[in-house]
Amino acid sequence: MGKVGEGGFVFSQSNGGDAQEVAEAAARTLRRKVVPELVSERALISFPVEAMTKFLVGRDLERQREICQLVESDETFSNADRPFLSREQNYVRALQKAAKLVEWKIQHKWSEDDMLMAMKATGDSLPLFLHEALFIPTLKTQMSDEQLKKWLPLAWNCEIFGCYAQTELGHGSNLRKLETTATFIPESDEFELNTPTLTSKKWWPGALGQSSNFAAVYARLILHGRDYGVHPFLVQIRDRLTHQPMPGCEIGNIGKKIGFDNIDNGFLGLSKVRIPRDQLMMRNIQVSPKGEFQHGKHGKLGYATMIKIRAIIVRNGGWSLAQALTCAVRYSLVRTQGGETLPSQGGREVKILDHAMQRFRLTTSMALAYASIMSGIVMMDLYHRNLSNTLKGDVALLAETHATSSGLKALCSDLTLHAIEDTRRACGGVGYNWASGICELYTTFLQDVTVEGENTILHLQTARWLLKSILAAQKSGKLDNVPSGLVPYLKDPSFTSHQKSALLTGRPVSAQTLIDAYWHREARLLQEMLDRIRQHYPSGFSEQVVADHMVDLVELSRAHCEGILVRNFEDAIHAYEQGAPAHKGVVTVLRMLQELHGLHRLLERVGDFVLDGYLSPAQATWCKERRQELVDALRYDLIGLVDAFDFSDNQLNSAIGRFDGRVYESQYEWAKYGMTLVAKGKDGGVLGHDEVLQHVFTQGRKINASKL
């Protein structure tokens, strides 16, 4: 194996004699310097890139770089071979990386956050993530202190490996209908776990297929014949030495997915599996030896965890898009195509970034990447404030934070995924090749529209909360729990009908003007819905309203969350300006991105804003012109904006996204290296020829000889 070096592609596994040779030749080629196209572009950046990186990553930057450097110093973590390995080989490679990280975690006494950074630094998806970021936090938030004392060290030092087993074959988002049972057996002080039907088998848990020997199993708690709802139990599912399934456990892998295929998502059937009573996780509820049920006091902490995970998805959306843009922007500054007949070109083809459509696509997506990262920062902050409040027993922020995190997860995963895919396509042919680095990124991130609450369901949660809090405020007259921007509309319901935007044509569009526009649209949609409830539902808001108006309610939640995205961007810039030292160049470019983002979102749904005359045709036209001005003004900062994301070449694992811009050499080396890993035909010839094609050719020759 070679070392993970500056080139990014390092050639680690070999199954043929020539792999080493190819690897060395490749390394020589790739160690060359940055291409002149990128050197000259980088000379034009208007802001200090390092200051932008500091702003984006925050106080973790130094630690993150330290860990990243450690990871990149070890050949285990080379990603070069991944695109050419089978699903099973990749799984084993991911475990090798995991093993090394666990070793370091113990050796260097890493914190939970350090471990998360290290996993991120690998640029790979590891089954270990499920153990570290889902199983261990579940123990921490669900187990009593006593239980933790016993189990946490086992999990922390990876003596046991766990997964989170909730979803069933027939039951996803509707947890109330989970079928797995845990029946208390007072005689032996045990629970008996069963998945009594086909549809009750646990289905999907990551790291269940092969990796885990323990699982946090969510099951209906049955005490003396009464159903106390769904709670988590710690269940041993494989022998700790042989790793074979425990008696009564049927375990399997659910097979290939569209992405995330290093991860062994699995299924689990349970038949009369007994566990001691104290493996019911008892932080939030307790069951006595007599089978008596008791509520705990930290019932709301589960919500805090959910909020955190959603904030992470919002942030990850931004960073995944950032990664895709890093590949596409660098490529678009080296790749040339067409335009050679333009007078200015003198027969040379144009850098594809200088095609207006390419620039438009990548720059509007850039604005979204920054907006999502900003929202991630603001949301994570809100999570921390909310968590410390909840621990003090103050849950005032909880409902809004939870509702916001739901809709924002749905909106951001949707928007960023769409932009990642558009970015992939903007790379043309190579975008379809794994060598682009964007294929795996896209297919992995595709899960985020479905996991942790399917997006439609989440939008409906946000819409429910919004309607309920408005209706409650109207009834009580107390407006404290209503989003601030809606207060004027609540005070005067006719407000929307005659309100006009203050937007001035020919001028930059201020953050406040944009924020006002989003509030106006939201208020109008809200009032339409309230009118319908008033007219058609005499008993007021109910689930029937949701059932009848799902499409409109999803629109309402989207509108609400688009407003949040715009305001969070403003809040993040404001906070940066307040803190010292803020770089003026950084603020300037952030403000441009913010304005571009607000305008682009608005123009994507411009009908919403012009339909009731809030925006005039002239104002809408100006929004479009101004958007184009901003896209053009950001042209020479795009390379700086992607460099600021600070991805290493090994994380990108892209032939076209490398820092040095050697996009053609590296595609060629990539393909040649891949060939050394690919199987030969059965007689040592070309794969497929030995097995099949030679017979086809022989048959063809015979037929033609007899005919011709």
Q: How far is CA 331 from CA 272, 549, 594, 637, in A?
A: 57, 45, 25, 15
Pairing status of strand 266-270 against strand 226-236? unpaired
Pairing status of strand 214-223 against strand 273-276? unpaired
Residue 98 as a binder of a copy of itself (CB under 8 A): the answer is yes
Pairing status of strand 181-185 against strand 214-223? parallel
Q: How far apart are CA 250 and CA 144, in angstroms?
A: 29
Cis peptide bond upstream of 232, omega within 30: no
Q: How far apart are CA 430 and CA 206, in angstroms?
A: 31
The DSSP line for 533-577 is HHHH-TT-S-HHHHHHTHHHHHHHHHHHHHHHHHHHHHHHHHHHH
Among 11, 184, 233, 442, binds a copy of itself (CB under 8 A): 442
Segment contacting a copy of itself (CB under 8 A): 171-179, 290-298, 402-410, 532-540? Answer: 171-179
**Using CB under 8 A, which residues numbered 386 to 405 contact a copy of itself?**
none
Residue 480 as a binder of a copy of itself (CB under 8 A): the answer is no
**Using CB under 8 A, which residues numbered 297 to 336 contact a copy of itself?**
335
Element (H, E) at 230: strand 226-236
206 is in an annotated binding site: yes
**Using CB under 8 A, which residues numbered 260 to 289 contact a copy of itself?**
264, 267
Residue 257 as a binder of a copy of itself (CB under 8 A): the answer is yes
- The distance of closest approach from Cβ of residue 74 to a copy of itself in the complex, given in angstroms and rounded to an integer, is 15
138 is in an annotated binding site: no
- The distance of closest approach from Cβ of residue 6 to a copy of itself in the complex, given in angstroms and rounded to an integer, is 20
Pattern 410-429, a copy of itself, x by CB under 8 A = --------------xx--xx
**Using CB under 8 A, which residues numbered 546 to 575 contact a copy of itself?**
547-551, 554
Among 230, 254, 397, 487, binds a copy of itself (CB under 8 A): 254
Among 48, 137, 172, 291, binds a copy of itself (CB under 8 A): 172
**Using CB under 8 A, which residues numbered 184 to 203 contact a copy of itself?**
198-199, 201, 203
- Cβ proximity to a copy of itself: between 391 and 547 the closer is 547
Q: Can you give 469-524 as a three-state secondary structure string?
A: HHHHHHHHCCCCCCCHHHHHHHHCCCHHHHCCCCCCCCCCCCHHHHHHHHHHHHHH
Residue 443 as a binder of a copy of itself (CB under 8 A): the answer is yes
Q: How far apart are CA 26 and CA 367, in angstroms?
A: 36
Mapped onto helix, strand or coil, the DSSP state of residue 234 is strand
CA-closest candidate to residue 329, choices 417, 415, 419, 412: 419
CA-based angle 224:229:231, to the nearest 5? 100
Which residue's structure tokens are 């008993």? Answer: 539
Contact 493, 529 (CB under 8 A): no
Pairing status of strand 162-165 against strand 214-223? parallel
- The distance of closest approach from Cβ of residue 361 to a copy of itself in the complex, given in angstroms and rounded to an integer, is 9
β-bridge partners, 227: 222
Is 452 annotated as catalytic?
yes
Q: Which of 179, 190, 452, 669 is catalytic?
A: 452
Segment contacting a copy of itself (CB under 8 A): 464-472, 573-581, 637-645, 672-680? Answer: 672-680
**Using CB under 8 A, which residues numbered 347 to 376 contact a copy of itself?**
349, 355-358, 360
- The distance of closest approach from Cβ of residue 118 to a copy of itself in the complex, given in angstroms and rounded to an integer, is 15
Residue 69 as a binder of a copy of itself (CB under 8 A): the answer is no
Residue 119 as a binder of a copy of itself (CB under 8 A): the answer is no
At 602, the amino acid letter reads L
Residue 243 as a binder of a copy of itself (CB under 8 A): the answer is yes
**Using CB under 8 A, which residues numbered 8 to 27 contact a copy of itself?**
none
Segment contacting a copy of itself (CB under 8 A): 228-236, 517-525, 566-574, 698-706? Answer: 698-706
- Provide the CB-side half-sphere exposure for 90 (13 A, CA): 21
Segment contacting a copy of itself (CB under 8 A): 8-16, 55-63, 159-167, 571-579? Answer: 159-167
Question: Could you give the strand order of the β-sheet that contains 249-253, starting from the edge strand earlier in sequence?
Answer: 202-203, 266-270, 249-253
Query: From the CB of residue 600, how many other CB atoms can be counted at a distance below 10 Å?
Result: 21
Residue 505 as a binder of a copy of itself (CB under 8 A): the answer is no
Among 38, 449, 517, 559, binds a copy of itself (CB under 8 A): 449
Residue 472 as a binder of a copy of itself (CB under 8 A): the answer is no
Residue 633 as a binder of a copy of itself (CB under 8 A): the answer is no
- The distance of closest approach from Cβ of residue 251 to a copy of itself in the complex, given in angstroms and rounded to an integer, is 9
Binding residue numbers: 167, 206
Binding residue numbers for FAD: 167, 206
Which residues are known catalytic residues? Answer: 452
